Amino acid sequence: MRNVLRAYLFDNSLFLMPTTAPVFVEFRCTRCWYSNCADSESVGTKVDCRNCGERLEVPEATPDRIERALALLESEPELLAPKNQDRKQTLDFDRQYSAREVNEIARKASYVPLNQMNYQGYALASAWARLFAQFIDVAIFCICAVSGFMLYLWLAKQGLPIEDPIAVVKRGDDPSIVTVVSLMIAPCFIQLIQWTLLTFSGQTIGKKILMMRVVTDQGELPGFIRVVLIREWASYLLCIVPWAGPWYRFLDPIFIFTNSRKCLHDHIAGTRVISLV
């Protein structure tokens, strides 16, 4: 009987496996302790951990590892398929696939949404890297605020029915609500972008440039309530509390130099900043 080969997308790689009783081995990730399975023919090669992406060497196919793999695959058969699919994905060998089609199938199979990823075990970002990312974010905010102010002045000099804020200040008058709101559009817009990025990716622009991410202590994305409402907005409110506010502003960044590398607002929100490098 002819031996039929099928292609399974396994551990983000393409393996050709015979349908006749393949042997699997079970092994743990040295970083996140997640259970992985690999074909015994992969012994000695490197594969990616399905949970954290750490490069692992497939160990020798000992009887205990094979037994654990059988038990694991019996309870979780989806381990042989990509995480975002429920069943094994096979290729139809009745047709010829181009290299581009195979790469596209592998790319889709290996895709895991950010909200399903776990970053437990990633190294903490250094204190100086975090401070530099904060400097980038503040610089972007200032550039947007100044640019918005300059644009408003230019529009006022073009004869539009808006008041010149500099002329108002020189006269000793208070600017109107319309002027104040107009000048706040640019800085509020860039801050809204930063909060949106934090909500969906755990990164501000500065953290994205320096390849860092805010995650929970459990290694998951914190979400809007924890990363924006608690970590950002609650921190702003604490800064304006009489007497305690100045102390909070002083101590908050100093805590980043402790062993935990967590600012006070990280302790409050239960978050930490990891390095993706």
**Span 47-60, pLDDT tens digits:** 888 777 788 888 88
Q: Nearest-CA neighbor of 182 among 168, 164, 157?
A: 164
What does the pLDDT read at residue 6?
A: 35
The answer to whether the CB of 256 falls within 8 A of the CB of 263 is yes
Which residues, including other chains, have CB under 8 Å from residue 10's CB and lie 6 or more apart?
17, 38, 39, 80, 81
Place of tokens 């409402």: 229
Write down the pTM of the prediction: 0.60
What does the pLDDT read at residue 72?
A: 75
Task: Please give the Cα distance from 187 to 31 (Å, whole number).
Answer: 41
**Which residues in the chain belong to E strands, given as ranges?**
5-10, 13-18, 24-28, 35-39, 46-48, 55-57, 212-216, 271-275
**Which residues in 19-160 belong to E strands, given as ranges?**
24-28, 35-39, 46-48, 55-57
Q: Which helix H or strand E contains 208, and what residues bound it?
A: helix 205-209
Secondary structure of residue 214 in the 3-state scheme: strand
What does the pLDDT read at residue 277?
A: 80
User: Which string of DSSP letters, residue by residue, matches 244-258?
Assistant: HHHHHHHHHHHGGGS
Task: Please give the Cα distance from 30 to 140 (Å, whole number).
Answer: 39
What does the pLDDT read at residue 82?
A: 46
**Which value, to the nearest 10 degrees, does the dihedral of the CA atoms of residues 124, 239, 190, 130 take?**
-20
Helix extents (H) in the chain: 63-75, 99-110, 127-157, 165-171, 177-201, 205-209, 223-224, 234-239, 244-254, 264-269
Task: Please give the Cα distance from 86 to 75 (Å, whole number).
Answer: 13
What does the pLDDT read at residue 144?
A: 93
Amino acid (one-letter) located at 221: L
Task: Please give the Cα distance from 107 to 91 (Å, whole number).
Answer: 14
Amino acid (one-letter) located at 139: A
What does the pLDDT read at residue 159?
A: 76
Low-confidence ranges of the chain (pLDDT < 50): 1-20, 82-90
**Span 199-236, pLDDT tens digits:** 999 999 999 999 999 999 988 999 999 999 999 999 99
Secondary structure of residue 189 in the 3-state scheme: helix
What does the pLDDT read at residue 18?
A: 40
What does the pLDDT read at residue 86?
A: 40
What does the pLDDT read at residue 229?
A: 95
Which residues, listed in sequence order, are joined to residue 39 by a DSSP beta bridge? 24
End-to-end CA distance of the chain: 50
* Token pair for 224: 């809007």
**Span 27-36, pLDDT tens digits:** 888 777 778 8
